[in-house]
Chains A and B, each alone.
Chain A
Amino acid sequence: MAESSASPVPSGRSGRRQGPARRDVSERSEDQTIALGRRSVELSGFYQGKIETVPKVPVRSLADFALWYTPGVAAVSKAIEADPDRSFDLTGRWNTVAIVTDGSRVLGLGDIGPRAALPVMEGKALLFKCLGGVDAIPIPVQVSSPDQFIAVVEAMAPAFGGINLEDVASPKCFGILEELQSRLSIPVWHDDQLGTAAATVAGLLNALELTHRSMREIRTVLLGAGAANLVTARLLLGLGHDPHRLTLVDQRGILHAERDDVDELMLRNPWKYRLALRTNGGGRTGDLAAAMKEADVLLAASTPKPDTVRPEHVQSMAPGPIVFALANPVPEIWPDVARSAGAAIVATGRSDFPNQVNNSLVFPAVFRGILDARARSIPDEVVVVAARELARGATRKGLTPNHLLPTMEEPEVFPEVAAAVGDAAVRLGIARHRLTHEEFLDRAITRMSRPARLVRALARARLTPPMPAGGSGSRRNR
C-alpha cells in the first residue's frame, strides 16, 4: 500500500516500532490544541464576536430609509402577505439560515449549555458564510424539552430559508429533526447526522471504487451508534447495502434484535431499535472482534478513545479492507497502524492526515444548492446526491488511496455539489425555484466566491482590524 506523504509518521513494517511514534503524534496534536485554544480566547476577546450584519443595499442619504423602511417597505409587506412565498424574493430569507442548538452536545465537550455553545455557533456561521456564501445566524436556545425546542424553531421559521441544527445530543436529535422536517416547509438539517453521514458515504463510494467492491456485496461494520452512524447506516441501506451484512457495534457490543437492552432501545431510541431489528447484527453477536472478522469496511465514528480498534481487528478483516477512523481528535486507530495491519484505504476526521472525512465538505454546498432552489425540504435522496457528487469531485484530481475525497483546497468541486443538490430538488418537486443546471452552477460559483472577496476588501479597508500579535509564547506575526 502506498504510504501517506502527508502523514507526520512514517509507517514502518514492524508494528512494534509505532508505539512511541504514535504517542508523538498525539502529544504534538495535544500541545497544538492547547496553543490554538489559548490564541482563540485571546482573539475572541479582541474581535468580540466573529460575524456582524452589514447592509447589502446602497444608503446614499437618510432619504433612502424611506425605501428600505417605512413608508416604502409597507408595500413589500403587503406583497408578501398576499403571497407568503414572495418572502423568498423580496427579503434576505432565501439566503438566511438559523444555526440552532440547545448546547446539549457541543464538540467533544458535552452538555455545556447554550451560552457556552455560542462561540461554536458563531464559528459555524463564519464557515457558512465563507464556504457557502450563506448568511447564518447563531441561535443557541435555552429549552427544557425536545417539544419546547421544536416549538421554538417552528416559531422562528418564517425568518429563514433553512434551519441548521447543531450539536444537539443523540438520540433526542433524531426526534427533533424528524418532527421539524415534517412541520416546516423549509429544509431542516442536522449537521452531526446528515453532514457527517454524507461525507462518510462519499468517501466510502470512492473507497469501494478503488478496491473494486460493490455496495451490494460488502460486509460493513459501523462502530459507534450515535447521530452520524445511525444515519450512515440508513443511507447505506438506501444505496442497496444488504442489511444482513451490516453490523452496528456500540459500547455494549454488536447491536442485534435479541440484545439485552433492546426493549429499552424500543422506548428510548427507536431509531437504533429499528436498525437492531433490520440488521440483526449482520447475523452476528458478540464484541467488536466478532464483528470485524472478514468485514470489508469499518466505519468508526465512536467516542474518541485511542486504540479502540486494534491492529488484530484490522488483520482479521477481508483482504485489503477499508478503514475509516473518524473519532476526533484521536482516531479509533492511527492511520499508520491501520495500514501496517493491512488496510488498503484509511480515512480519518483530521486534516493532518490524508482523506479527511469532514462535514465542511458537505454542508456549505448542500445549503448553497437547497437555498438557491428555495427547497421546501431536504430528503435523503438529496443527501445521497450530494455524497455522490462530492465523490465524483475527488476524481478530478485523480482518485488514489490518499486522495479519496476533495479537500478544502479544491474549491471548484463545491459549486458542482451545490448545483447537483439544486438539480435534485427540482427533480424531486421540492424546489420553489426551478433553475437549470447551468443556472444553479453559475449562482453557486458567484455566491460561494463572493465572501472571500468581501473578507479581503474589509481587510484592505482596515474595517476588519489586522490580527494582533500573539501573547507570550506564540509567534509574532508582524
Chain B
Amino acid sequence: MTATHEPNSHAPTSSTDHASAPIHLRPARAADIPALVPLLLRLKRLNEEFDPLLKVREDAAEQARGILASNLDDPKSLVLAAEGIGADKDKVVGFVRALIRERPFYVPEREGVILDIYLLPLYRRRGVGEYLLREVSHALKEKGAGLVTAEFPAQNEIAVRFYTKRGFRPITAIHARSL
C-alpha cells in the first residue's frame, strides 16, 4: 500500500529547512508500520503511567497495526515519521499522528487534532518536539484546519507544560469514572 494522501505535498522532505533538528521528517508509509507500532505502544504505556484508566490492552499491538494502516489510507489522517540521522539514518525515531475533525456547531469548522507525538529519549530536549509540532500544525492547516488541538492524559504535566509554553490552553475537558 502506498500512501497517496495529500500531506505528501507539504510535509517537509528535506532536512535543509530544519538544520537544527537532528531528524528527517516525512509522511509515513506502509513499510514504516512495523517500526511505528512499538513507538506508539511506548507512548500508550507512558500514558498508563499517568492514569490507571489508561491501562494498555493486551492486544494493543494488533490494534496499533490496524489503526496505523487505516490512518495511512485516510485523507483525514496524518502520520509523519521522524527518521534519525548519522548512525540512526533510515531508522524511525519518532512519529506524529493527527487527524482532521469536523466541528458541526462551532467555527472554525475544522480542527486538527494531534493524537500522538512520540520521540525516542535520545532525541528529546533538542528542539525536535517543537519542530514536529510546527510541521504537523502546518500540515493540518493545509488540510483545512482552523485550529490545532492536542489530546493527552490530564495528569501528564510534561505535555501540559510543552503545549502551554507554545500558546495552547485547555478548551474541552474529559472527565471519567469507572463503571
Residues of A within 8 A of B (CB): 257-258, 260, 262-264, 266-268, 273, 276-277, 280
Contact = CB atoms under 8 A, between A and B. Distances in A.
A363 to B, nearest CB: 35
Contacts of B46: 263-264, 267
Contact of A277 (B42, B49, B122): B122
B55 interface: no
Contact of B42 (A263, A273, A280): A263
Contacts of A268: 49
Nearest to A267: B49
Q: Which of A263, A268, A277, A280 has most B Cβ within 10 Å?
A: A263
Nearest to A273: B121
A262 B121 contact: yes
B49 A263 contact: yes
A266 B122 CA distance: 12
B18 interface: no
Return the 7 tightest CB-CB contacts between A and B, nearest first: A263-B46, A257-B122, A257-B121, A267-B49, A262-B121, A277-B121, A264-B49
Interface of B: 42, 45-46, 49, 120-122
19 contacts: A257-B120, A257-B122, A258-B122, A260-B42, A262-B121, A263-B42, A263-B45, A263-B46, A263-B49, A263-B121, A264-B45, A264-B46, A264-B49, A267-B46, A267-B49, A268-B49, A273-B121, A277-B121, A280-B122
A258 B49 contact: no
A268 B42 CA distance: 15
Contacts of A262: 121
Nearest to B42: A263
Contacts of B45: 263-264
Contacts of A276: 121
Contacts of A267: 46, 49
Contacts of B122: 257-258, 277, 280
B42 to A, nearest CB: 6
A267 B46 CA distance: 9
A185 B122 CA distance: 36
Contacts of A280: 122
A263 B38 CA distance: 13
A267 B49 CA distance: 8
Contacts of A264: 45-46, 49
A262 B122 CA distance: 11
A364 B167 CA distance: 53
Contacts of A257: 120-122
A277 B49 CA distance: 20
Nearest to B156: A267
Contacts of B120: 257-258
Q: Which of B49, B121, B122 has most A Cβ within 10 Å?
A: B121
A263 B42 CA distance: 8
A426 B122 CA distance: 39
A2 to B, nearest CB: 44
A258 B49 CA distance: 17
A276 B124 CA distance: 13
Contacts of B42: 260, 263
Nearest to B48: A264
A268 B122 CA distance: 18
A264 B49 CA distance: 7
Given A257-B120, A277-B122, 10 more contacts: A257-B121, A257-B122, A258-B122, A263-B46, A263-B49, A264-B45, A264-B49, A267-B46, A268-B49, A280-B122
A276 B122 CA distance: 9
B45 to A, nearest CB: 7
Contacts of B49: 263-264, 267-268
A260 B45 CA distance: 9
